[in-house]
């Protein structure tokens, strides 16, 4: 590895470890494996279906959260700030 490559690599590592990005990635991977295992153990679903559910369900929840947050920001927060 050249000196420039080493500098870029070290900078990248510092950015990842000083932010919450690494923790978020590790948490997400852990969440997928935990959800897959729970689904398999509780329902008896095959691991491939449990893995699909562990990946798809959080994506649907993300869309739901986005829609809810947009509604909340446009209706609830605006109402509260105008009343104050």
> Which domain covers residue 77, as residue numbers?
3-83
Query: The pTM is what?
Result: 0.60
Q: Could you count the other beta carbons within 10 Å of the beta carbon of residue 20? A: 10
Is the confidence at residue 34, as pLDDT, over 90?
Answer: yes
Q: How many domains does the chain have?
A: 1
Is the confidence at residue 62, as pLDDT, over 80?
Answer: yes
How does pLDDT run across 46-58, given as a tens digit for each residue? 999 999 999 999 8
Residue 68 Cα distances to 65, 76, 79, 82, angstroms: 5, 11, 16, 20
């Amino acid at each position: 590895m050249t000196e420039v490559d080493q500098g870029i690599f070290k900078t990248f590592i510092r950015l990842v470890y000083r932010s919450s990005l690494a923790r978020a990635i590790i948490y997400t991977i852990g969440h997928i494996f935990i959800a897959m295992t729970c689904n398999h153990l509780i329902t008896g679903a095959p691991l491939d279906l449990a893995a699909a559910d562990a990946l798809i369900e959080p994506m649907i929840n993300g869309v739901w959260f986005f829609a809810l947050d947009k509604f909340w920001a446009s209706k609830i927060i605006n109402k509260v700030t105008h009343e104050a």
